[in-house]
Amino acid sequence: MDHKEGQYKVADLSLAEEGRKRIEWAESRMPVLMKLREEYSQSQPFAGYKITGCLHVTKETAVLIETLKACGAEVAWSGCNPLSTNDSVAAALALGPNGDGDGVEIYAWYGQDTEAFYWCIDRTIDTTPSTTLDDGADLIFRVHSQFPEKAQDIIGGSEETTTGVHRLRAMAEDGKLLYPVYAVNDAETKWDFDNVYGTGQSTLDGILRASSVLLAGKNFVVAGYGHCGRGVAMRAKGMGANVIVTEIKATAALKATLDGMRVMPMEEAAKVGDIFVTATGMKDVVRGEHFVSMKEGAIVCNTGHYDVELDLVALNDIAVSKRTIREDNVEYTMDNGRKVYVLADGRLVNLAAAEGHPSEVMDMSFANQLQAHLALIRRHEAGEDLPNTVLDLPEELDQEIAGIKLETMGLAIDTLSDEQVAYATDYSAGT
């Protein structure tokens, strides 16, 4: 472990060169964020502000972090999952773009235990942030539960994922949220792209890296047909799998049916599935009784934010033995003699066993993150007193971000003529 107090704690600084190349690769595929970096590095809107983040340390996150820094922010960072940090990227961030030590404050390494996970978050809170950037609300929750005195210096925050937004809305409803937070997750250019196409592709990537099984012809069970689940189901279907969906919401189940998926309760799906992916944000979706009824060789993983979707405590009770059969893949032999395989310890399989979402999709998610922090600081400087609640980003921003994305893809769209604009609001025009 390489540790310099007040600057970094990462696994191995000698990996920095490899990490730098990964970051450069991501930069070349994140044109929207790079365009914003170019624009705002001139005006330095974050000068004098400290942005503290708790989000998967991947090459794409590194592009966001270095963009915030280029726009004037002092940045401190930790990972938001013990198994998602890319150690080479963390090393490159610590040493900075020129490898001379002018990096950001970063505390993150792959495979940390729970105590180390919170130690890292706490070191970033020590910097007394101006704004916080979360993925899962662990940083915000830590400020509120352990360092509430720091909250008075915090202008606001942003939240990247569905589970985090749910947690924050619950805190706000209870009157417990101490500062305003933008729900970046809920922006159309985030939720409808990152969660769907990002999770769709990267979850299959994680499953394949950890198992290398053939997807065609397999019974592929997806629990939850929301944004992430739909993306995973779509991609698995495209690879020739027979997709089965389990849901608790009638409309979501109906959408899955009309999209050509089979729908059934988990109790039934457990008996026929070859591969299981949870994408619900809910706990105990695959429980002991489900593991027991699974076929020999079933593969089980999770792509929701927390590992609680699979009841691994129950599986450990049922299992008579377990061994790591290959990287990110543990074989459990149950007391009924059958074996099941759990990928990535039930953590987000796309980040723990693969590299997370492709850069192209994180480009838009992180453009929204940058805009959220710009909005917080601009509104603060304008003297606005924002309520301590969960805020939505303006819809116009989605059109702006999507517009830049299309432009960088070399695609153009139509615009309405004056007559068409008038027609849109003319209620007298009928057949």
State whether the Cα torsion 396-402-408-413 is positive or negative.
Answer: negative
Interface segment toward ligand NAD; rule CB under 6 A; list 22-30, 60-68, 274-282, 317-325: 274-282
Residue 160 is labelled as binding a ligand:
yes
CA 69 to chain CA centroid, Å, is 21
Among 82, 157, 200, 224, binds ligand NAD (CB under 6 A): 224
Closest CA to 109 of 96, 120, 98, 95: 120
Residue 190 is labelled as binding a ligand:
yes
Rule CB under 6 A: say whether 227 interacts with ligand NAD. yes
| Backbone φ and ψ of 342, nearest 5° | -110, 125
| Backbone φ and ψ of 333, nearest 5° | -100, 120
Among 189, 303, 329, 369, binds ligand NAD (CB under 6 A): 303
Residue 194 is labelled as binding a ligand:
yes
Rule CB under 6 A: say whether 301 interacts with ligand NAD. no
Contact 241, 232 (CB under 8 A): no
Residue 192 is labelled as binding a ligand:
no
Element containing residue 76 per DSSP (H, E) = strand 74-78
Rule CB under 6 A: say whether 249 interacts with ligand NAD. yes
Residue nearest to ligand NAD (CB): 226
**What radius of gyration, in Å, describes the C-alpha atoms of the chain?**
22
Rounded Cα–Cα distance for residues 373 and 181 (Å): 10
Among 172, 252, 264, 292, binds ligand NAD (CB under 6 A): 252
3 state SS of 115: helix
Rounded to the nearest whole angstrom, what is the least distance from the CB of residue 143 to ligand NAD in the complex? 20
Residue 419 is labelled as binding a ligand:
no
DSSP annotation of 252 reads H
Rounded to the nearest whole angstrom, what is the least distance from the CB of residue 107 to ligand NAD in the complex? 21
Rounded to the nearest whole angstrom, what is the least distance from the CB of residue 78 to ligand NAD in the complex? 17
Contact 353, 344 (CB under 8 A): yes
* Block residue for tokens 């592009």: 63
Interface segment toward ligand NAD; rule CB under 6 A; list 2-10, 236-244, 278-286, 384-392: 278-286
Rounded Cα–Cα distance for residues 185 and 195 (Å): 9
Among 85, 131, 163, 365, binds ligand NAD (CB under 6 A): 163
Rule CB under 6 A: say whether 273 interacts with ligand NAD. no
Among 305, 347, 373, 405, binds ligand NAD (CB under 6 A): 305
Rule CB under 6 A: say whether 248 interacts with ligand NAD. yes
Considering only residues 179 through 198, tell me which ones interact with ligand NAD, judged by CB under 6 A.
Answer: 195
Q: How far is CA 129 from CA 3, 206, 269, in A?
A: 21, 34, 46
Rule CB under 6 A: say whether 350 interacts with ligand NAD. yes
* Block residue for tokens 């899955």: 256
Q: At what angle do helices 359-381 and 16-27 cross, to 10 degrees?
A: 80
Interface segment toward ligand NAD; rule CB under 6 A; list 45-53, 275-283, 391-399, 417-425: 275-283
Residues annotated within the binding site for substrate are: 58, 135, 160, 190, 194
- Footprint of ligand NAD (CB under 6 A): 161-163, 195, 199, 223-229, 246-249, 252, 279-282, 285, 303-305, 348, 350-351
